[in-house]
Amino acid sequence: MIKRIITNCDDDTCPSCVIAGDYIFLAHHAGGHDKNDIVHQMEVSFNSLKSTLEAVGATLDDMVQINLYLKNIEDFRQARDVFYKYFQNGFPARMTTTTDFISPTCLCMMMG
């Protein structure tokens, strides 16, 4: 059975997560676009991921993989360092890449 959790981005075509059996697939999570600050946007994105996971009975520690999309590769070190605040029991596998975003103020986006 597949369960879709309501969107976190005001787009009905993109649920926040989809649960298929024991697996949770997270859609993109971003936010904090009111500040042009990678650390702030990473923290808002992580808090959004955390809220979605909590809504389905999971935590960030349950994450196996996370995809991190950055607008600017120069932000990598600061973005990476935010992971220490959210993972104390080991890190999920991570893929990091750069891309342009639909929102010009978006500096990062995460999904898992």
Q: Which domain holds residue 64?
A: 27-111
Beta strands in 1-112 (DSSP E): 2-5, 17-20, 23-26, 65-70, 93-98, 108-111
pTM: 0.91
- Residue 40 lies inside a defined structural domain of this protein: yes
Over the stretch 79-112, which tens digit does the pLDDT of each residue have? 999 999 999 989 999 999 999 999 999 999 999 9
Q: Is 97 helix (H, G, I), strand (E, B) or coil?
A: strand
pLDDT of 101: 94
Task: Count the residues in the chain.
Answer: 112
Domain count, the chain: 1
Q: Is residue 2, in this structure, part of any structural domain at all?
A: no
On whether residue 76 sits in a domain, the answer given is yes
**Residue in the structure block whose two tokens are 């029991």:** 89
Banded pLDDT at 15 (limits 50, 70, 90): confident
- CATH code for the domain of 63: 3.30.1330.40
Give the list of residues 6+ apart from residue 48 with CB closer than 8 angstroms, or none. Answer: 8, 29, 30, 31
Read off φ and ψ for residue 66, nearest 5 degrees: -135, 135
pLDDT 10s digits, 62-71: 999 999 999 9
- 31 neighbors 92 (Cβ within 8 angstroms): no
Q: Is residue 20 in a domain?
A: no
pLDDT at residue number 7: 65
Q: Look at residue 13 and tell me if it is in a domain.
A: no
